[in-house]
Structure 1
């Protein structure tokens, strides 16, 4: 693993001295130890690797110890140390990971941590050869950043469905949890999600919604054209933003509405007729609410409209009409721009 150049950082960054390294300590620039720490950490597993690197090959120092201290108080995330003989350091990698699941600071693990150098001792042989003291002189530790932002990682799922009302987007937002009493991934409630469509090579915001108490979301956008879609959940102080997998939605189609499960039941002078209406806008025939449907009764050789209703939440149809005698009934869907008219089979009562 290669480490980026520290020339600019070394010129501008100052060593952050914690109490273990005296403020009056002499910093030896001839023994400069660059350490590359990421500015952010997303926790998506127990013992999350932090991704710290440092070029190997230096033998002028004995031990460097660095701690992550929560700014504002609340404890430390942990400490890592580097010695020249470590195999990982020789390969440019610092083996350091975050806390296990069951971490005691359930509410405090996230936040901004100051990166403090607690120890930076010189190698005794190197110090002796170069005229330095191992007690008053210290290695020059150059950090790529002075802070690290630690938050839980999130996941956002997405399903797209074509309906006659538009493109329906549904899914859920979850975040990782270090708390032993919870599942690894828990619901992320009351989080803003933004639907984006790829337009001319750029992701464009189309609509927003908020997740429920269970972390789910659902909203419909007025769109009928083919395109790529994704949903982005907003970051919070303790959870990073997450982007869903990209989904491709086909263009909306106009097909004939269908009415099935037609039944008729006559009791006395009235007949009750039921059914179920479905429409297909590109995702197969789905139960559709709000569809205007006429109930027709056969009178001789002609069909006469005896009632007009709108389908219920699951596409259900129901109408009760006067029935002077036994006759046949059928449903006729009133066509729109989204679907063509359709005629059901008949039921007799």
Structure 2
């Protein structure tokens, strides 16, 4: 038996509880992992609070991230005692995830835990930091270098935004952070932001083309914000889009793309090929100032995850939440 958060649905409604689970209930997989740490992402909060159609089968253990130690394996790439981590692959949505003390998984979803990080540090980074690194790499691929001009980060107080600022600043970019929480300005400046702007300047309907400003941008907001970001890009600028906090719609025109050569790069972290994941985590080991993790992260126990998910949905949680599954 092990403890885990279990989501179920029946005729009486949607139920979420922390409970003891029999290992015999675990889904199919060729690697069993003793999970030491997981995270609480926006997607996990949607699943726990039932605010979005995240869970695709019931019962379900949420948690799109996990790190831990291999307990059993019939996969030749892993053996008992190996330290591993997982991000995405539909775990916590269609396959039991990381908000439990044990997970049974397919080895093709796992990568070795980089030596630079402890399990707790890897989960402090989690899908948010890994996605931010993929977005930075997309900007680099399209020639957005620090000398080209300012880079905008929207949704700056969220996990992806926080890591994007920290990584870009260490790489020498001048980062402008967009946030709706002016009280968090000091936090964003400590991460490396050179300037803070109010998200209201981007969140309302705008013009097809605006004054050129940004050489690059990382957007986790979507909707009007993404449209306005695209409209204010410099010639040959690149926007890496990886979220939809404001909405899934994209009320924009083709003008930035055909008149300024702007690139809109979609960042999918869930189904990313294994080598891309390994490359991104290698970059995180070299390009993320680990001292910033304490600013970005706070840790809770598994018993606190359900309440924290509700607070996250209410906008009361800053940065990253690491979940210690052993408490």
TM-score by length of 1: 0.18
Query: Which structure has more RCO (C-alpha within 8 Å, separation ≥ 6)?
Result: 2
* Larger strand proportion of the pair: 1
* Larger helix proportion of the pair: 2
Structure label with greater radius of gyration: 1
TM-score by length of 2: 0.19
